[in-house]
Structure 1
Amino acid sequence: MRSRILKGIFAGCVAALMAATTSASAGPLMDRINAGEPIRIGFANEIPFAYPADDGSPKGFVNVFTIAVLKKMGYDKIEPVQTEWGGLIPGLKANRFDIITGGMNILKSRCENVAFSEPMAKVGDGFVVAAGNPKKITDYKSIADSGAIMVTGAGYSNIEAAKAAGVPEANIMQVPGPTEILAAVKAGRADAGAGTYFTVKQLADTTDGALEASDPDAMPEDSFNWAGIGFRKDDQDFLDKFNAAEKEYLGTPDMLAAVAEYGYGKGSLPGDVTTDWVCANR
């Protein structure tokens, strides 16, 4: 009898220890999901990456991609949260949302604060300039050499790229996002608006020929970046499962059909580059 009691106590302790270990390994996102809470996706108004529709629903190819991966994982209780670009990483760290879907480039400096998924897109930079490109702006070095004024979004990776090419900080105007970038170039306050080629092409297309996008092929190879989905570092358990589901979905006909309307095609696929490599080299 005493042996049975001891075995029962031992089994109960093992079960309790396993439950405690499982609970400890779960990040805050899994805790929210297990409590029946929605997965909150944070994004800024960054067409065509991620932006709100008129009814507030999440649009853009990064949102569409992320929501599809989450659904493949079995999660469809999702709450969109729009904020300014500069508030994405602080909002993630402050638990105001759970995932960044804004089309954020993976950078060494960001990897210190954010756990990124494996890359979901290869993204080249570009510039929106006056029609005819009078200052011959083709890359960041041409901005530095000409003394041109560049405008870009606060917190954009274009700031680091411009400084690395020798553009003085005084010649880099920072604004909240694409709408303000377009306004600054149209008004002549800036000579070039910097962003991803996806973004600047969309901006130029709204101006009836007054502005144009620079040639993306003129950009050096080392200016290309890779976009990923951002998670809190405490949510590595969820991120591992997300990466597994992403690997099965990325590049499939269903995925490419879902994002085609936003200008994402086969040429936008990230290739074999890993997040570890990007964090070390960008």
Structure 2
Amino acid sequence: MKNTIFKGLATLGMAALAVGFAGSASAQSLLERAEKGEPIRIGFANEVPFAYPGEDGSPKGFVNAYTIGVLKTMGFENIEPVQTEWGGLIPGLNANRFDIVTGGMNILASRCENIAFSEPMAKVGDGFIVAPGNPKNISDYASLVEGNAVMVTGAGYSNIEAAKEAGVPEANIMQVPGPTEILAAVRAGRADAGAGTYFTMKQLADSSNGAVEASDPNAMPEDSFNWAGIGFRKADQAFLDKFNEAQAKYLGSEEMLAAVAEYGYGEGSLPGDKTTEWVCANR
């Protein structure tokens, strides 16, 4: 079996190259091209730790690592990374600029109308960072209310509405530009908890040298969870069927968990028994 080939593309000029591929790529199905040994182009944005480019353009992040593992299980190792903006992932996929979306995309009803998703590969919930030992016993949004705790999160994050719905007063919700400022606020004691996606909060905790710790994502209410999948063009259902077959063997294996561990994905992030059909209908 040949070695994996990563053909890193510079951010500038990438779109032009991708458009050049599009005409020839659309003439055959993804399965036909892959079986001929042609590159499988994976599309992603810069979303740490889900999927992002390394310094050399190689695909990093747990969704990229996972997808590459599934493709290897299928016997496909010629992988070409294509970075784009988050908003360009679905349009780029449908315009044949790349073949698979690996950006860490939640399966949502509105997205299911436009692309096909693999079976879920991760359960994605909210999480908190708190002071070591979690002195205010913060585990979910309700516990913020019980402890009269101050929560910090990013401006425009969905955590704001989730906290308000749980009864957290607006005066106890601090909004900052992003993850760096969330960590700074908790470290300085200006907030009792920082909120975001669990994966982002876990990464902040791991990088803090023990200054904060991440809460248990499974303590969050069920309706706050989403499920992420790998995106495909609806015309490539034949490839997706084979991908799902390989995923069923790879998901949760020791090999898979080892490949994604550095990005904060552990057994608690496995998707459980939810199917894509269920998620498309309920999210």
Change in CA separation of 1:247 and 1:215 when aligned onto 2, cut-off 3 Å: closer
Moved more, 229-238 or 59-68: 229-238
User: Cα gap change, 1:198/1:221 in structure 2, threshold over 3 Å: closer, same or farther?
Assistant: same
The whole-number CA distance in structure 2 between the counterparts of 1:224 and 1:125 is 7
Paired position in structure 2 for 1:40:
42
Where in structure 2 are the equivalents of 1:170-181 lying within 5 Å? 178=179
CA shift at 1:245, angstroms? 1.4
Q: Structure 2: 5+ residue runs without aligned partners?
A: 1-25
Any conservation in 2 of the 1:107–1:279 contact (CA below 8 Å)? yes
Partner amino acid, structure 2, of 1:36? E
Distance 1:203 1:38, change over 3 A: same
Range that drifts further, 210-219 or 223-232: 210-219
After TM superposition, list the pairs within 5 Å mapping 1:25-104 onto structure 2.
27=29, 29-30=30-31, 33=34, 36-47=38-49, 49-104=50-105
- CA shift at 1:185, angstroms? 6.7
Secondary structure of the 1:238 match is helix
Q: Displacement of 1:200 after TM fit?
A: 0.4
Specify the SS of the correspondent of 1:226.
Answer: strand
Distance 1:212 1:266 in 2: 18
1:225 aligns with 2:223: no
Count of residues in correspondence between the two structures: 256
The correspondence of residues 113-262 of structure 1 with structure 2, limited to 5 A, is: 113-128=114-129, 138-140=139-141, 151-152=153-154, 161=162, 178=179, 182=183, 193-262=194-263
Distance in 1 separating the partners of 2:263 and 2:91: 27
Amino acid at match of 2:38: G
Structure 2: distance between partners of 1:115 and 1:166:
36
Q: Which has the larger radius of gyration?
A: 1
TM score, norm. by length of structure 2: 0.68
How far, CA to CA, are the matches of 1:244 and 1:168 in structure 2? 47
Query: Could you tell me how far apart the structure 2 residues matched to 1:87 and 1:130 are?
Result: 37
Question: Which secondary structure does the structure 1 equivalent of 2:229 belong to?
Answer: strand
Deviation of the 1:123 alpha carbon: 2.8
What is the letter of the counterpart of residue 64 of structure 2? N
Query: For 2:165 and 2:151, how far apart are their aligned partners in 1?
Result: 16
Q: SS where residue 44 of structure 2 aligns?
A: strand
Per-residue CA deviation, residues 238-267 of structure 1 (Å, 9 max, x unaligned), is 211211111122223322333333343333
Identical columns (%): 70
The one-letter code of the counterpart of 2:47 is N
1:262-282 CA deviation, whole Å, 9 max, x = no partner?
A: 343333322222111112222
> What is the CA–CA distance in structure 1 between the aligned matches of 2:186 and 2:87, rounded to whole Å?
21
Cα distance in 2 between the residues matched to 1:232 and 1:179: 35
| Aligned mates of 2:160, 2:116 — CA distance in 1 | 21
Paired residue secondary structure (1:272)? coil
Q: 1:114 to 1:168 in 2, by over 3 A?
A: farther
Contact persistence 1:105–1:157 (CA under 8 A)? no
**What CA RMSD, in Å, does the superposition of the two structures yield over aligned residues?**
4.1
1:148-204 alpha-carbon deviations (Å, 9 max, x no partner): 6753487x76577567657899x79696x7557657877999886533222202113
Say which structure is richer in helix: 1
2:13 is matched with none
Kept in 1, the 8 Å contact 2:62–2:260? The answer is yes
Local SS of the residue matching 2:105: strand
- Cα separation, partners in 2 of 1:75 and 1:211, compared to 1, 3 Å: same
Contact 1:45 1:52 in 2 (8 A): no
Equivalent position amino acid for 1:98 in 2:
D
Q: Secondary structure at the match of 2:70?
A: helix
Q: CA deviation at 1:222?
A: 2.4
| Cα 1:100–1:182 shift into 2, 3 Å | farther
Q: Distance in 1 between matches of 2:216 and 2:202?
A: 10
